[in-house]
Structure 1
Amino acid sequence: MENKSYSYPMDYDWTKEEMTKVINLWRAVELAYEIGINKEEFLIVYRKFKEVIPSIGEEKKWSRQFESISGYSVYAVHQEAKKTNKKMIFMDKSK
């Protein structure tokens, strides 16, 4: 796994539990690009993220912040998870 030298985007008004749910999504997206992630595991983590950030507008804002620092797209991984019949998600880093 690559050594990341960035900080995850975070709202410090979130509770520790909420922060954990958001960080788990950032990590799941990283895994999808770096080594692959189980589709069902990703979807569970995504649903928990949506408990913290239910609005599409807020999701886009936080996802853009994450993508700008990591280069990884939450949207792309989520779309792949919804459409694939495969058990694992492996994202192409070149896209």
Structure 2
Amino acid sequence: MEEEFPMPMSMDWTKEEIIDVMQFFQVIETTYEKAVIREDILSRYGRFKEIVPSKKEEKQYFRQFDEKAEVSCWKTVQKAKNAQPGEKIKM
């Protein structure tokens, strides 16, 4: 995922929220390059959900990011949720 592109975000978010959402999307990308501990994915997803509680908005942001990064946020989060504690996730 060497290509740089704008990450989906809202102008209503604070600088901290923008950084937290970017870190979530970055951890998703990383799972396509190397294994990531499931807790890293789930903790960043938990923070993402604090910022984007709406399922509809979540789907919109996931779709925007997935298309540009050629990943699947939803599949990555599901794989992490179904993994054992401490397990590493690689997509």
Question: C-alpha separation between the residues in 2 aligned to 1:51 and 1:29?
Answer: 17
Counterparts of residues 1-40 of structure 1 (less than 5 Å): 2-40=1-39
| Paired position in structure 2 for 1:46 | 45
Question: Structure 1: how far apart are the matches of 2:58 and 2:4?
Answer: 23
Q: Which residue of 2 aligns with 1:71?
A: 70
CA distance in 1, matches of 2:17, 2:4: 23
Q: Unaligned regions of 5+ residues in structure 1, if any?
A: none
TM-score, normalised to structure 1, is 0.88
Deviation at residue 34 of structure 1 after TM alignment? 1.0
State the 1:84 CA deviation.
1.7
- For 1:84, give the aligned amino acid: A
Q: Which runs of 4+ in 1 moved over 3 A?
A: none
- The alpha carbon displacement at 1:5 in A equals 2.3
Unpaired runs of at least 5, structure 2: none
Corresponding pairs, count: 90
SS of the residue aligned with 2:57? helix
Q: Give the Cα separation in 2 of the matches to 1:22 and 1:29.
A: 11
Cα distance in structure 2, aligned partners of 1:22 and 1:5 = 16
Q: After TM superposition, give the deviation of residue 49 of structure 1 in Å.
A: 0.5
Percent identity, please.
Answer: 36
CA distance in 2, matches of 1:16, 1:40: 24
Deviations 1:30-64 (A, max 9, x none): 01111121101111000000010011111001000
RMSD after superposition: 1.2
